[in-house]
Structure 1
Amino acid sequence: MDTDGGGWTTIHTRFDGSTDFNRSFSEYENGFGAVNGEYWLGLKYIQELADKGTNEIRLEVTSKQDEDYFENYKDFKLLNGSDYVLSINPDTAESYPVLTNGFLAFAYLKGYPFSTFDRDMDAWKDNCARLERGGWWYRDCGSMNLNGEFCEYSCDHKTYSVEIGYYVYGFADSKQLKTSRMLIRRYAK
């Protein structure tokens, strides 16, 4: 409740790799994990919360070297019914620190539906969710994956030169993350 003025609802949290995020579309839609552990709230519940007003989303990550990074966007929604298309306003983006490549990883995924290994909705020639071992709003693989495979040090099974696992492109040399959280809250326009 102390983060950036408080009022946030946590919709995703990871910190030790104890929960497998390589799940089916149904599991991502309905949610999994435990509130006192690692979890994903569920796409249908996230969509319902976001439909109740004007919302912002915040993504926070920590590297294995204890470096912190966040991205924050206003006007967050999940569109197109059960496709759960990511809608955010990149013009409202805040991030800290600025990534070495100047890239906003989550903004790159705007307009893409949620994909899992059993429901390939990305724009790439292969199934990003299968390759990266976790459901996400993939475009063409490789910008960010907070639901990817949690590897102790690094995932050494790259495919097609795509980063594999749990990372944000351009942060901590695109290496594996230590923790992540996704939060949403309402705001007044």
Structure 2
Amino acid sequence: MKLSLVLVLFAAICLVCSGNWRWRHGRRHHGGWRQGGWRRGGWRHGGWRRGGWRQWRSNHWRQCQNKMEGLTEQRNKLKKELDQCLPSSPISDCWDVKTRQNQNRDGTYTIDSPAGGKMNVRCDMTTDNGGWLTFVRRVKGGVDFNRPWKDYKRGFGDLAGDFWLGNDFLHMFTAAKDVEMRVDMTDQDGNHAYAVYGSLHVDDEAHAYSIHVSGTYSGNAGDAFRPNSTRKEKFQNNRAFRTYDRDNEFGCAKSHKGGFWYNNCFFVLATGPFNSIRGIIWFTWRRHHALKEITMSIRPKGVV
């Protein structure tokens, strides 16, 4: 009887020990510390070494991106609200269109007129860093420039082709800000020349929209506006604007069929009949041989 009891107790102890070993063996070797836990499933196979660090870094970066996107959205929303509350400075010239509206193609744009309200203008965005506002353009023909005073006062033509922007605008624009002037021209053979003047101002109507060109000159067309030692009587700087119904004593506007700043009569003419013998002239470049195209443009001084 005692022996049987001892055998039973021994068998029970063996069973317990056998189960405990298997649990420990399975946990430590097959699914625990070595194979399924720290070494197998954690640090090496599924955790720190194999995927843990990369997964953590990916999640952290995604969280940062989400936060940045949220902050950007909040900033844009606040900026929009502030823009609605605060008065914005006007888009007053082609340089504003280029730099504040990020436009870089030649064409027609809308600006705030110096007279109030909005107006369409043609901008040269490619020549010499761009931002040039063109006030006279002769490139296609088809627009009659032999017009009365009132037409030159308010402007006429087609901004996509040939036009005169208007003497009222020229006066108000050049009175409101300091500008430089650029003249680009092409002869009948396709050769190009230009002239840049450091300053331009046009008087009001009471002073016959007289033109005042000053400052430095640069370019390869020659300074045809201002007098030198020869033939001073034909240079047109500081001269009044003339049309056939408000002509000077020499009858220049009537005889040359276009309004312009005449002396007796001109070394520069941008408004004569298109493709005529003496329609478009820049005397210091091609003498009295008519040019094929010409544009005259202005830009705020000192922006480049």
TM range (shorter): 0.7 to 0.9
Q: Which consecutive segments of 4 or more residues in structure 1 shift more than 6 A? A: none
Q: What secondary structure sits across from 1:26 in the alignment?
A: helix
Cα shift at 1:97: 4.3
Q: Which residue of 2 aligns with 1:106?
A: 225
Structure 1 position 65 matched with structure 2 position 189 = yes
- Quickly say closer, same or farther: Cα 1:33–1:94, change in 2 above 3 A: same
Count of residue pairs the alignment pairs up: 170
Q: Which residue of 1 aligns with 2:97?
A: none
Give the TM-score, by structure 1 length.
0.83
Q: Distance in 1 between matches of 2:201 and 2:286?
A: 28
Displacement after TM superposition at 1:16 (Å): 2.2
Residue 132 (structure 2) aligns with: 8
Which runs of no fewer than 5 residues in structure 1 stay unpaired? 99-103, 155-163
With over 3 angstroms needed to count, the CA separation of the structure-2 counterparts of 1:75 and 1:142, relative to structure 1, is closer
**Greater relative contact order (Cα 8 A, min sep 6): structure 1 or 2?**
1
2:169 alignment counterpart: 45
Aligned counterparts, 1:84-99, within 5 A: 84-89=209-214, 91-98=215-222
Residue number in structure 1 paired with 2:296: 182
| TM-score (structure 2 length as normaliser) | 0.53
Unaligned runs of 5+ in 2: 1-124, 227-234
Distance in structure 2 (CA, Å) of the matches to 1:142 and 1:36: 27
Counterpart for residue 108 of structure 2: none
* Residues 1:165 and 1:84: Cα distance change in structure 2 (over 3 Å): same
Distance 2:197 2:284 in 1: 18
Please state whether the residue corresponding to 2:250 is helix, strand or coil.
coil
Please give the secondary structure, in 2, of the residue aligned with 1:28: helix
**Which amino acid in structure 1 is aligned with residue 126 of structure 2?**
D
In 2, Cα distance between equivalents of 1:80 and 1:16: 30
CA separation in 2, counterparts of 1:120 and 1:171?
27
Q: Tell me which amino acid in the other structure corresponds to 2:157.
A: G
Larger Rg: 2
Of all paired residues, the percent bearing the same amino acid is 29
- Mapped contact 1:113–1:138 kept (Cα < 8 A): yes
